[in-house]
Structure 1
């Protein structure tokens, strides 16, 4: 460079530098003497200071002994400042903006011992701007109070030491509850006061930051009104909170534009109380005014109390530890029953209680995470006696629930469960007699719900439905691939791929008359069995007779073994029963009926119609009753003890038991019975009907052999006052019928059949009446007896099917023993017996006539064989002559 040019550059540079230096001194001189007046004239504040230094090059300002006050304390539209600052250091002040735009902006402000009261302005339009723009703020030994308009305190801190970077005041207006934001901070302070809204006040004794972690001692979140006031003034808010914590630890706290971000929040020994109320068909207001993202939340040794609207407990926890991460809280999440979203969680608590409107659940200890729930020493007990609510009184040793997936959306819980293990469940469940019309059972669940496996172990349960208790002891249950769904009527439906149930024993009381029990119950998805089945009366026969208004049977049933194979579904939408084989082994059945109560005059359906009336598809391919005993006993008011029919052994096979509702299955029922009548005489019966036949027609045939008449005396003697002697070599019948009548044929071969009529009040033989009766009975059959025809014997439809069968047998037996016109002959016998009885009463005067009558009868009988030989084709003529 030439010397001349260098000299010119040096002169120019030196001149500019001199001008800048002179300007700097000039501006410093001007600011020291004129800045307070300038601020006073161009802002809303009066400012004084003892010392001021300005560096024009850097924009740095140092001021000491500062005081600041509002020119107009009643001004509400601008930021209010009042107080003092021992020293203020400002870096990179925007001089141009300060002078020409009345906007104070700087990079960093450091305040030493500030004592400031800051009043936030009222809401302004969106075009108005804040008078201060600052990036970093440092405060030492400060005392700061921030007020909302109308002098309501928003925030205050004493002995404040603060370092904030990325500070951002509201750029448009001061509408936010806390009109600032920041990126990082470091703070110590005492006596925190923060009132974010009209609902809550936040207090803390001490704040301290160490390595980016803020520690808050004696933290309190206090409601500013009672729950009654909250319910009145905030009808669409759901929850009111009250929280005290011994210690809060907050790491990496950031706050900007109503967005709160935290890396970690740890609350030690919190005492949390939540008041809740129900919201019905109303869109809830926001319970929270910010968007919160919290990476990790930890509650340690928490005490939690959630109260219902009536101030009774909803949930209690005396000691609860939990950790939740990736928490999001905003205006949408607070509308849900769980007012936040989360990623993962881990809960561990002791002495937990939950109170619904009708139940109390207690857990001695509980653990939960997204993969499962684990409960120990639990109990559930119903707290009301409402007939429309199920009643529980249960204890549980432990429960393990492993979850494959779950989430909550629109207040509905959707889940798929891998495994449920329930151990030692004991107690009582009483099923509601009548469900409430307004009840919405399981309304918080989204169906269908899939459970891959359920395992219930070592449980004892009593289930009472309509005052009918069922007790299961030693219960074990395994269910695989269970699916729960609801129909349109909100009735719970269950569908399972396979399962098995076992129990040591069960008892069931279906009514006041019986107790049913069994041992070693085992049921799986394709088969089942039980042993020592019993259905025993709870009352004596005499008590039973007094308790029933109309005659009915009293049963005493036992079975050594019962087993079945097939498929069924009673809890599905389409219920059905389809069994391949049912076997009852060593059944001992006693059926007792007394004729003392009045007759039951209701119409009795035949078995085909009874089966057809079953509403669900039923089909049992084969049913066997083996090695069994059947006893039927009946008495009448005049009997001396009940009559008895004994079938021993008793074996029965039934094919195709059905309700005519299973497609593709036959509807014909075939019954085969083989028994020992009265314990000795072989009896075989074949019986059939078609369930689909609306006319309810049936066929029944049978054969009995070598029946000693004395064997049926236990049945006929007590109430007919008759004994029989002789033997029935063979009795066979073949009948068909319908609900109105029975017809067919009967054939009997017998020898020396006679009867003995007993006296009314003793077991002694009435010789006279016995002699008369035996005169009209055909005591011996032919070697090859002919069949008699039973024609259209009418049914009494108030009696059972077996009454109709007995009428058919009775008609055939009467024809065989007495003759075709047996009804007319019986009437004649009655007349003769009546005349003979009258003759006996007048024996003193008519003995001769009686003897003559008896002699005539004997001669007539004596001459009958000769007449038979002469007229073998007219056997009935003698009876016709005698009784004609």
Structure 2
């Protein structure tokens, strides 16, 4: 071997040895700095333990095996949040940005099979939740892709150990995340360009009485799809009636799918939350609602939907909401010795426009409803109001097809102790009102209409009272040339302790009474 070759070999060997040594030294330096950061730089209430920490300077990768992250509140020694992971992987770590500038730039962060447990403690002041641990960070953080794979998330009440929230197979991807010392003080402490989320078997306790379940969901910036939703009262009707201090709906709602398109949300000027969507579709919603009127009345003041929207604490803009093939069964128990009366609406298709508190005065909220009432009667409703109208003015129009009066008996007999006979061949009604009073104009074509007043048990006919009642009722509507009798009533006063539906009902009832007992002429 010649002398130049020997020198070359020595130099190359030396460089190679130095490179290898330097590689391991660099790995050790980065590992040491990361370990020191995790031990000394994190907030006092946050700890991170792990089985091993591997760093590859060459690839810019960091792999933490079986990490456990624990967050403890300052008001309790118990853990608020615990997270166990199979692996935490950081890829494309910007070594020099971190070593020289304290900037954390990475291409990807992956959390594999995390199990997150959050113990909700109502004793902790709300402002503690508002103080994010991110506020302690001084570094600029940029992540090209943040990925959570197959997560399991559970939230429990720390006092009762009852489950408040649960979901599994939770997967999320968020792209181009950026956090800096300025952004951490914002309502949403980071920026991003795109995201997608999916999960299965979601359970959420909505409060003392109701639960929510979702079989699966897929959420992107373009569309959110929720499949097999259920919202229901936790308890049986009998148990529930014993629990509630004042009357309250017992309900069971199922929705085959809920689709929210092109939704946008955030904070305007980092202050007021907003949510908007041009189209929301409910497929095959089924609602079973029961109310026991024997429980003490809820005497709180009820406001109309227009005022509810007007007084929302956030900005809502929903351009179109569709209910496809919906059904509603409402039952109401009025008499202790009888079952609940029942009303049903099936094959219901609803188009609601402008559910919003952001439109100008020229835009109105409208509802167009096409349904079948009590199994066989076609029903159409047009309802409109202006959110900006401080008097809460509204117009409610209903067009009812052929309705055998006996179809109303499942409701009128147990609740009103009245049986009806005859047929309402065609009914038109318009209720115009505001927050306090209404006027109803009604036209009905009917024949052979009779009422039976029932005895105390609601089973036998009270012949005397029935005869007296029928003296005041026109049996048929054929006195007018077109077969309709007209009726109207003004100054119908709203009971402010009851809902808009009660207001509509007493208005239509007043109009029907005017038709049946009046002279049948337009006024």
Q: TM-score, normalised by structure 2?
A: 0.83
Q: Over alpha carbons, which structure has the higher Rg?
A: 1
Provide the C-alpha distance between the structure 1 equivalents of 2:254 and 2:307, rounded to a whole number of angstroms: 28
Judged with a 3 Å threshold, the aligned counterparts in structure 2 of structure 1 residues 345 and 537 are, in CA distance, closer, same or farther, namely: closer
Give the CA deviation at 1:604: 1.1
Residue 426 (structure 2) pairs with residue 727 (structure 1):
no
Residue 223 (structure 2) pairs with residue 537 (structure 1):
no
Judged with a 3 Å threshold, the aligned counterparts in structure 2 of structure 1 residues 666 and 714 are, in CA distance, closer, same or farther, namely: same
1:457–1:476 Cα contact (<8 Å) kept: yes
Mean alpha-carbon deviation: is it higher for 645-654 or for 631-640?
631-640
Give the CA deviation at 1:597: 2.3
CA shift digits 1:747-805 (9 cap, x unpaired): 11111111222221352223333223222222211252242222121111121111111
Residue 98 (structure 2) pairs with residue 407 (structure 1):
yes
Judged with a 3 Å threshold, the aligned counterparts in structure 2 of structure 1 residues 377 and 345 are, in CA distance, closer, same or farther, namely: closer
Residue 64 (structure 2) pairs with residue 366 (structure 1):
no
The equivalent of 2:499 in structure 1 is: 800
The equivalent of 2:83 in structure 1 is: 394
Residue 149 (structure 2) pairs with residue 446 (structure 1):
no
Provide the C-alpha distance between the structure 2 equivalents of 1:413 and 1:777, rounded to a whole number of angstroms: 87
2:172–2:195 Cα contact (<8 Å) kept: yes
Matches within 5 A, 1:117-128: none
The equivalent of 1:482 in structure 2 is: 177
Provide the C-alpha distance between the structure 2 equivalents of 1:429 and 1:704, rounded to a whole number of angstroms: 52
Provide the C-alpha distance between the structure 1 equivalents of 2:512 and 2:77, rounded to a whole number of angstroms: 59
Judged with a 3 Å threshold, the aligned counterparts in structure 2 of structure 1 residues 388 and 678 are, in CA distance, closer, same or farther, namely: farther
**Which of these residues, 452, 459, 479, is aligned with residue 763 of structure 1?**
459
SS of 1:611's equivalent in the other structure is helix
The equivalent of 2:28 in structure 1 is: 323
Provide the C-alpha distance between the structure 2 equivalents of 1:417 and 1:581, rounded to a whole number of angstroms: 37
Give the CA deviation at 1:382: 5.0
Provide the C-alpha distance between the structure 2 equivalents of 1:619 and 1:643, rounded to a whole number of angstroms: 37
Judged with a 3 Å threshold, the aligned counterparts in structure 2 of structure 1 residues 672 and 610 are, in CA distance, closer, same or farther, namely: same
Matches within 5 A, 1:678-827: 678-761=374-457, 763-782=459-478, 783-819=482-518
Q: Which one has a larger percent strand, Structure 1 or Structure 2?
A: 1
How many pairs are equivalent?
486
The equivalent of 2:153 in structure 1 is: 461
Give the CA deviation at 1:452: 2.0
Provide the C-alpha distance between the structure 1 equivalents of 2:515 and 2:379, rounded to a whole number of angstroms: 20
Judged with a 3 Å threshold, the aligned counterparts in structure 2 of structure 1 residues 488 and 500 are, in CA distance, closer, same or farther, namely: closer
The equivalent of 2:204 in structure 1 is: 508
Mean alpha-carbon deviation: is it higher for 798-807 or for 637-646?
637-646
Judged with a 3 Å threshold, the aligned counterparts in structure 2 of structure 1 residues 348 and 811 are, in CA distance, closer, same or farther, namely: closer
The equivalent of 2:6 in structure 1 is: none
Give the CA deviation at 1:435: 4.2
The equivalent of 1:668 in structure 2 is: 364
CA shift digits 1:482-536 (9 cap, x unpaired): 2346669665534322111111221111112112111220010110112111112
Judged with a 3 Å threshold, the aligned counterparts in structure 2 of structure 1 residues 724 and 448 are, in CA distance, closer, same or farther, namely: farther
1:353–1:362 Cα contact (<8 Å) kept: no
Judged with a 3 Å threshold, the aligned counterparts in structure 2 of structure 1 residues 547 and 526 are, in CA distance, closer, same or farther, namely: same
Mean alpha-carbon deviation: is it higher for 463-472 or for 601-610?
463-472
CA shift digits 1:84-140 (9 cap, x unpaired): xxxxxxxxxxxxxxxxxxxxxxxxxxxxxxxxxxxxxxxxxxxxxxxxxxxxxxxxx
SS of 1:504's equivalent in the other structure is strand
Provide the C-alpha distance between the structure 1 equivalents of 2:48 and 2:140, rounded to a whole number of angstroms: 25
Give the CA deviation at 1:369: 5.3
Provide the C-alpha distance between the structure 2 equivalents of 1:543 and 1:781, rounded to a whole number of angstroms: 47
Residue 190 (structure 2) pairs with residue 498 (structure 1):
no
The equivalent of 2:117 in structure 1 is: 428
Q: Which runs of 5 or more residues in structure 1 are unaligned?
A: 1-262, 267-294, 300-321, 325-343, 821-871, 877-884
Provide the C-alpha distance between the structure 2 equivalents of 1:657 and 1:365, rounded to a whole number of angstroms: 53
Provide the C-alpha distance between the structure 1 equivalents of 2:54 and 2:66, rounded to a whole number of angstroms: 12
CA shift digits 1:407-456 (9 cap, x unpaired): 379xx954233211111112312356424569563243137643221111
* RMSD between aligned residues: 3.4
Judged with a 3 Å threshold, the aligned counterparts in structure 2 of structure 1 residues 448 and 667 are, in CA distance, closer, same or farther, namely: farther
SS of 2:375's equivalent in the other structure is coil
Judged with a 3 Å threshold, the aligned counterparts in structure 2 of structure 1 residues 440 and 701 are, in CA distance, closer, same or farther, namely: closer
Give the CA deviation at 1:708: 1.0
Judged with a 3 Å threshold, the aligned counterparts in structure 2 of structure 1 residues 645 and 812 are, in CA distance, closer, same or farther, namely: same
**Which of these residues, 409, 417, 423, is aligned with residue 106 of structure 2?**
417
Mean alpha-carbon deviation: is it higher for 547-556 or for 730-739?
547-556
2:154–2:163 Cα contact (<8 Å) kept: no
Provide the C-alpha distance between the structure 2 equivalents of 1:602 and 1:388, rounded to a whole number of angstroms: 41
The equivalent of 2:276 in structure 1 is: 578
The equivalent of 2:8 in structure 1 is: none
SS of 1:626's equivalent in the other structure is strand
Matches within 5 A, 1:238-637: 323-324=28-29, 357-368=44-55, 371-381=60-70, 386=75, 391-402=80-91, 403-404=93-94, 406-407=97-98, 414-431=103-120, 433=122, 434-435=125-126, 441-446=133-138, 449-463=141-155, 469-484=164-179, 491-570=187-266, 573=270, 575-637=273-335
Q: Which runs of 5 or more residues in structure 2 are unaligned?
A: 1-17
SS of 2:165's equivalent in the other structure is strand
SS of 1:753's equivalent in the other structure is strand
The equivalent of 1:65 in structure 2 is: none
Provide the C-alpha distance between the structure 2 equivalents of 1:778 and 1:659, rounded to a whole number of angstroms: 46
1:345–1:369 Cα contact (<8 Å) kept: no
Give the CA deviation at 1:346: 7.6
Give the CA deviation at 1:389: 8.5
Provide the C-alpha distance between the structure 2 equivalents of 1:560 and 1:387, rounded to a whole number of angstroms: 42
Matches within 5 A, 1:139-178: none
Judged with a 3 Å threshold, the aligned counterparts in structure 2 of structure 1 residues 716 and 798 are, in CA distance, closer, same or farther, namely: same
CA shift digits 1:564-602 (9 cap, x unpaired): 101222478363222121111111101111212222222
Provide the C-alpha distance between the structure 2 equivalents of 1:415 and 1:353, rounded to a whole number of angstroms: 17
Judged with a 3 Å threshold, the aligned counterparts in structure 2 of structure 1 residues 571 and 555 are, in CA distance, closer, same or farther, namely: farther
Provide the C-alpha distance between the structure 2 equivalents of 1:368 and 1:667, rounded to a whole number of angstroms: 60
Q: TM-score, normalised by structure 1?
A: 0.51
SS of 2:470's equivalent in the other structure is helix
SS of 1:603's equivalent in the other structure is coil
Provide the C-alpha distance between the structure 2 equivalents of 1:390 and 1:526, rounded to a whole number of angstroms: 37
Judged with a 3 Å threshold, the aligned counterparts in structure 2 of structure 1 residues 669 and 650 are, in CA distance, closer, same or farther, namely: same
Judged with a 3 Å threshold, the aligned counterparts in structure 2 of structure 1 residues 609 and 417 are, in CA distance, closer, same or farther, namely: farther
